Structure 1
Amino acid sequence: MKKILLTILIIGMTAIDSLAQLTEEQISQKVDSVMQTMTLTDKVGEMTQLAIDMVSTPGAEPDELNEESLRNVLLNYRVGSILNVAGHAYTLDEWHSVIRQIQDMAIDEKPTGIPVIYGIDSVHGANYTMGSTLFPQQIGMAATWNTDLIREGSRISAYETRASWIPWNFSPVLDIGRNPEWPRFWETFGEDVHLASKMGEAMVEGFQGDDVSSPYRVAATAKHFLGYSLPASGHDRTVAWIPDIQLREHILPPFEAVFDAGVHTVMINSGEVNGIPVHANEEILTGLLRDELGFKGIAVSDWADIIYLHDRHKITKDYKESIKVAINAGVDMSMVPLDLEFPRLLKELVEEGEVPMSRINESVERILRVKFLLGLFDQAYHPDIDYSKFASNEHQQASYQTAVESITLLKNEAEILPLSKEANVLVTGPTAHSLIYLNGGWSRTWQGDDPQYDTPGKKTILDAIRDEIGENNVNYAEGTSIDEEIDIDVVVQAARESDVAVIAIGEATYTEMPGDLSDMHLPEAQRELVKQVAATGTPIVLVMVEGRPRIINDIVPEADGIVMAYLPAHEGGRAIADILFGDQNPSGHLPFTYPSDSNDIVPYDHNYTDEVGPLGFNPEWEFGTGLSYTSYDYSNLTVSKATFGADDELEISVDITNSGEMAGKDVVQLYVSDLVASITPPVKRLRGFEKVNLEPGETQTVRFSITADDLAFVGRDNEWITEEGEFKIQIEDLEQNIIFQK
């Protein structure tokens, strides 16, 4: 059988053909050729994705797969995909052993010879490979407002993931970060649709490149389709109530952007939207995703989410009915992940006529298409490829630069920053001397909370400050853990003997349900630490290491300087120290609105009605905020036409001048306001941005081009519309009104 299959596959191809040269028609022909050799058992197996635990020997080393289990999974059940790690990151050698064993058995012994597609969550670097380059988490990437950095970082992440012989990456997260209570907030690109769309597009381009079959690229995954990030409770995997207008205007566009960029797979939202689990929602998974948006790739479930249709959502009577509902709704591959009931029950459903064979064929064709695009049929892994740049200085420097450009200066009273390198500095706080807090979740382990897997030689904030100014100039006391006091009295005494206190506050590492919050305030122990240091009169610089904005309204007045570090990863300690002492000029800008209180979560692009009343819109810091050690002047806002029409492009330009004494980067942000609309319009919306690098005294002209589509909104009929009328163009404090006429 295998020899017949291989003969079919090479018909019409020469030895020098590359998949990048194949047309969709040629790919379809190859998929059809394989489909003709497949039984129903083969097909439902292709739709099955199992965790590596299912083929591992419990308690054994990672590369010691259980041959009997592997043989059962691949040869009896014909499973087409495996994912994840058994507990913690593997070394490159261990990954190579694992992938080699799996692919050799699949190709050499499965009747069809179809290779396995292995998937992993490389969400900020190849984070499940020991020693790999870790980048800032997505919320920090967004704070750079620099798509070039994100594209390059994603290329490096693809390189190091493929160096592990893994071709499929479950990234990026395209969920919009508009509810900071949600524990996966830091996995998003923030609250703005335009910023998230541009960042997601750059990430997919970096992962997949021009030819995803390259041994240095991976297939990307747009997740989680659709509406996952807005649960009403703020808790993970709970119900979101999303009106159609909001879904189309705020939730869908980042996914559309990466579909246009050619992303090959999507992962489905684990929660419910308007009371319907998305894994059971044919209107979303078929009507929207396939019929309206034309997506051709694989739709994979999230972890155990088909099982959960019965166990959690209670919409089916048993697992078998859950499978029927999910597959008929449009799921192509089930991330099972820990049982072999799925392929058995799915086969029964087909034989009983409950799931049509056409749905099975449709899904298998999509899966095989991606396997062909990845080049897995040609070479499932690449033992002869040189991956010598893995974790290289070049890659580490890219991570460092991303961290530097993400760090956001939010307060700098009396220009306390940058600090003098001659100062006597107290360093304290729970995140000051921990790599796991800099890294966050999805770092060597799922929760990222085990320091035994830290990469040797990486610097904590304390380490980096000691390197910066010398150990003799640094006093250190922990002060508190994340939520408990330890030695605040020792800190207070040290503060009295120091010129300045750098207090590193923030969150424990977490992701998904373990990160659910009952209170958005920063834990009381940390706030008390800041207050007691402030009582000594010693100037304070807060460094916030957190994945979402925690409420700190009672300690903001106590701090002279406040730096938002997000989750900057391995090079974050060094980047933070370089910012604090002026080796680098901060250029990050908030990708979300930082609320001033728990009941004051309002995004920047709120409606005018959100400003009514005594509270109004009063955040701690607004979206787009970011200070610098230099100053920038904006002038000469110019618009090409005072009135423009549906077929016109409006050219907008502005001059930006570095009027200070230090080189720096600023983000030029273009906002548009619809002054009158048929439904209440937002006060403003981001419609363009560009990060520019300026020497002291230098002026650059930044240009934007917008069309009628950039003025559009989703109207009462849930369709995009641009209405005639007056709009305001705004860059910094410069404004100009225009008229749109159809």
Structure 2
Amino acid sequence: MKKNWIRGVLAAALCSVTLGFNTPNVDPTQQENIEIIIKSNLSVEDKVEKILQQLTLEEKVGQMTQITLDVITKGENVFVSDEPLTVDKKLLEEAIKKYKIGSVLNTANNRARSTEKWNEVITQIQKVAMKEIGVPVLYGVDAIHGTTYTAGATFFPQQIGMAATWNPELNRQGCEVTAYETRASSIPWDFSPVLDMGRNPAWPRIWETYGEDVYLTSQMGIAAVKGYEGENNDLSDNTKVASCIKHFLGYGSERSGKDRTPSYLPEIELREHYLPSYKAAIDAGAHTIMINSGIINGTPVHASYKLLTDLLKKELGFEGLVVTDWADIENLHNRDKVAATHKEAVKQSINAGIDMSMVPYNFNFCGYLIELVNEGEVPMERIDDAVRRILTVKVKLGLFETPAPKVKDYPKFGSKEHEQIAYNAASESITLLKNDKDILPLKKGTKILVAGPNANSMRTLNGGWTYSWQGEKVEEFAQDYNTIFEAVQNTFGKENVNLVQGVEYNHEGQYYEEKNIDIQAAVKAASSADVVLLCLGENTYTETPGNLHDLYISQNQRKLAEALAATGKPVVLILNEGRPRLISQFESDMQAVVHTYLPGNFGGDALADILVGDVNPSGKLPYSYPMYPNALGTYDHKPSEASEKMEGMYDYNSSLPFQYAFGFGLSYTTFEYANLKVSNTDFGPDDNIKISVDVKNTGKVEGKEVVQLFTKDVYASITPDNKRLRRFEKVNLKPGETKTVSFTLSARDLAFVDADLKWTVEEGEFKLMIGDKTTSVNVTKTKKFDQASN
């Protein structure tokens, strides 16, 4: 007995030295045992199992509990923290010592912090966690286009812009930078990427997605997971973070288009268009997943055993950590009315398959769950399964050895190297949608009027989740970067560029409010300009605050566009928006249209370089740009939804007259396709075919082209989609240069979900389409595939 006591004291002392923490008054047995386990040569699985055996029920439930940072910082209440930010030692000790909490998320007061402040705060949290439990806290944050809540971080285009690059490798690089800078902030868990489908243009989170197509989303999702976690998903690398794919499943399919409102989603549609992106990311090794806050077919996803256990954990084989979204267990009682009490809500969600509750403002979850286990309402096996998943992520991240890394270990934070990648992403995302009479690029010396509410705003270039949740604090942190107006001035000369906005946003009010409306001032200023750059779009928003009732661009902005067009001066419309706001009322009066999406801090510079011709635009639309609010749809619609005029476009009287088609984007050069070939025209359900095509730059400048392979099932037992994207590759071509682009396609790639909910490829003809070239192949036999098959 004495030997054990001495060994425990020595081990505790060793732990203090190893981790750099002062650990007085520690129960030496548990901490000793956990440290011995971590330092052993056991596998991750065996380490987790042995740590699990050390924990009490209270400690296990604590591991399943996640609170927001405001709960443990000094302030008048749990919703508001004092500034400068300071951890409240009493509240922190209560959270960990009494409730044993295992995770913290978010920032405090909804604002960015320095890397030094993050290290200070998280180090304090980890010291208490290691002292009291011997298990580190797992800290998480929404770093969705850069490290959202860290001052000086590198910001990339939002996901919809990254999708517009059609360049997964560039997306991987951006996520790799974000992982590095998030870890430099002492944060090892990133709630990204969003793999929801952006198939309803009205949805306020469409800009957080990779667009409407499941294959493009899947490829971008795989690249994101590899960027965050590394090629081999080795989380022990202290430049990587645990990714969190979200929001499983069907989020964004709301009937109303408004955030967190009900979805009615047939399982065929769910499996064919909403599930594959998650399967791809799971197969790519993503360690964690966040759940859809909404309701599908009347059942909240957080309470669905069918979706969380049967589908996610069993069918897809997901072995990682499943976390709720913000307060969504409480919402089962408060909002969705499927649980008569909060305790019943906890029972439903945990038994459904939730592993960690993003509570986030109280500790009631702990008490309810302990009672439910003791009453036999939640099996201990379910608790152990959840904690096993949580501990696995913590062990793999190396948090037991290094609970909080030091800022000095990350010299590339905010570096020029990282900024160059962000600039490259912005320049490849920007999409040229119209260029009548080749008005673009503009010549140096052109007299330019820059107008519109988005002309001189860093906030609108970045969008939400930038330095703060709604992006309203961007101007405070982004003064060192260039707005569109400033970038155009730098490129064309201050003497040649004038700013008269005509309409401005009311940044103190709701995101859609506008003020300082003086359209005539802009009209007057246009008289001395050669060309008008009209910067329209949206102010920042995300989630429910971004709900809208009218998809048309605001009436003030429309009036500004019409008034400037009436001057007779050529108008170049710059769209800076998170979703496709409708412009059909005045688009025909615009000489050019350039879509920037939400390009980040380097969007202004990238746009100016495109306008002057130093960069040739190469972005392509990741969604169908609608023309009218009652004609919303996607490119992969059913045949009855639109009559085709020509490939990729539609008759005016069609039910889906798109302003611009999915995958569309112009260049300053031209490309020609030839020699579309297939290795064999007949192939079986287990075979592959090779497709090749020659692409030539027939213009006068170097350019990048996205080669897109679409397929069309001519006839099927379930009405087939109009066409489907199956492969793509972005290639760079010099003037006169030709490259042969090849793809390999399997019969499984042509499969659809049939009436029996099985992935099926049926005997018959399929059209293959690349550019303006089409050929046909035949599948010789019908076959059903397992969900798990590739």
TM-score by structure 2 length?
0.91
Range moving further from structure 2, 86-95 or 198-207:
86-95
Change (3 A) 1:14 1:340: closer
How far the C-alpha of 1:731 sits from its partner, in A, is 0.1
- Contact kept in structure 2, 1:172 and 1:200, CA below 8 Å: yes
Number of aligned pairs?
A: 732
Say which SS state the counterpart of residue 220 (structure 1) adopts: strand
- Contact kept in structure 2, 1:62 and 1:90, CA below 8 Å: no
Which structure 2 residues correspond to residues 149-164 of structure 1 after superposition, within 5 A? 149-164=170-185
Counterpart position of 1:75: 97
Q: Which of 464, 469, 481 pairs up with 1:446?
A: 469
- Contact kept in structure 2, 1:431 and 1:504, CA below 8 Å: yes
Matched, 1:685 2:724: yes
How far the C-alpha of 1:216 sits from its partner, in A, is 0.3
- Contact kept in structure 1, 2:37 and 2:51, CA below 8 Å: no
Q: Which of 195, 199, 206 pairs up with 1:174?
A: 195
Counterpart position of 1:600: 631
Which structure 2 residues correspond to residues 361-380 of structure 1 after superposition, within 5 A? 361-380=384-403
Counterpart position of 2:537: 506
Counterpart position of 2:58: 41
Counterpart position of 2:352: 329
Counterpart position of 2:610: 579
Say which SS state the counterpart of residue 340 (structure 2) adopts: coil
Q: Which of 705, 724, 738 pairs up with 2:744?
A: 705
Matched, 1:638 2:677: yes
How far the C-alpha of 1:4 sits from its partner, in A, is 3.5
Matched, 1:194 2:215: yes
What per-residue deviation string (whole Å, max 9, x for no partner) do you get for residues 278-309 of structure 1? 00011000010011111011110000000010
- Contact kept in structure 2, 1:666 and 1:692, CA below 8 Å: yes
Q: Which runs of 5+ in 2 are unaligned?
A: 1-25, 76-80, 506-513, 644-650, 782-790
Q: Which of 111, 120, 143 pairs up with 1:122?
A: 143
Say which SS state the counterpart of residue 104 (structure 1) adopts: helix
Matched, 1:549 2:549: no
How far the C-alpha of 1:6 sits from its partner, in A, is 5.0
How far the C-alpha of 1:478 sits from its partner, in A, is 1.2
Change (3 A) 1:305 1:14: closer
Matched, 1:134 2:173: no
- 1:374, 1:77 → 2: CA distance? 23
Change (3 A) 1:615 1:508: same
- Contact kept in structure 2, 1:2 and 1:113, CA below 8 Å: no
The residue identity in structure 1 corresponding to 2:213 is D
Q: Which of 45, 48, 54 pairs up with 1:31?
A: 48
How far the C-alpha of 1:356 sits from its partner, in A, is 1.2
Say which SS state the counterpart of residue 225 (structure 2) adopts: helix
Counterpart position of 1:228: 251
Which structure 2 residues correspond to residues 345-384 of structure 1 after superposition, within 5 A? 345-383=368-406
Range moving further from structure 2, 548-557 or 482-491:
482-491
How far the C-alpha of 1:622 sits from its partner, in A, is 0.6
What per-residue deviation string (whole Å, max 9, x for no partner) do you get for residues 581-610 of structure 1? 111000000000000010111100111111
- 2:114, 2:449 → 1: CA distance? 38
Say which SS state the counterpart of residue 625 (structure 2) adopts: coil
- 1:200, 1:359 → 2: CA distance? 29
How far the C-alpha of 1:724 sits from its partner, in A, is 0.4
Counterpart position of 1:403: 426
How far the C-alpha of 1:383 sits from its partner, in A, is 2.1
Counterpart position of 1:619: 658
- Contact kept in structure 2, 1:408 and 1:588, CA below 8 Å: yes
- Contact kept in structure 2, 1:436 and 1:454, CA below 8 Å: no
Say which SS state the counterpart of residue 417 (structure 2) adopts: helix
- Contact kept in structure 1, 2:631 and 2:655, CA below 8 Å: no
The residue identity in structure 2 corresponding to 1:608 is P
- Contact kept in structure 2, 1:63 and 1:95, CA below 8 Å: no
How far the C-alpha of 1:206 sits from its partner, in A, is 0.2
Range moving further from structure 2, 204-213 or 139-148:
204-213
What per-residue deviation string (whole Å, max 9, x for no partner) do you get for residues 144-200 of structure 1? 000110000000000000000100000000000000111101000000000000000
Q: Which runs of 5+ in 1 are unaligned?
A: none
Say which SS state the counterpart of residue 307 (structure 1) adopts: helix
Change (3 A) 1:733 1:76: same
- Contact kept in structure 2, 1:435 and 1:454, CA below 8 Å: no
Counterpart position of 2:325: 302
How far the C-alpha of 1:490 sits from its partner, in A, is 1.0
Counterpart position of 1:213: 236
- 1:315, 1:591 → 2: CA distance? 37
The residue identity in structure 2 corresponding to 1:637 is L
Matched, 1:239 2:270: no
- Contact kept in structure 2, 1:225 and 1:267, CA below 8 Å: yes
Counterpart position of 1:735: 774
Q: Which of 413, 428, 435 pairs up with 2:451?
A: 428
How far the C-alpha of 1:3 sits from its partner, in A, is 4.0
The residue identity in structure 2 corresponding to 1:297 is G
Change (3 A) 1:253 1:452: same
Counterpart position of 2:306: 283
RMSD over aligned Cα, in angstroms?
Answer: 1.4
How far the C-alpha of 1:455 sits from its partner, in A, is 2.4
- Contact kept in structure 2, 1:56 and 1:62, CA below 8 Å: no
- Contact kept in structure 2, 1:426 and 1:494, CA below 8 Å: yes
- Contact kept in structure 2, 1:439 and 1:448, CA below 8 Å: yes
Say which SS state the counterpart of residue 532 (structure 2) adopts: strand
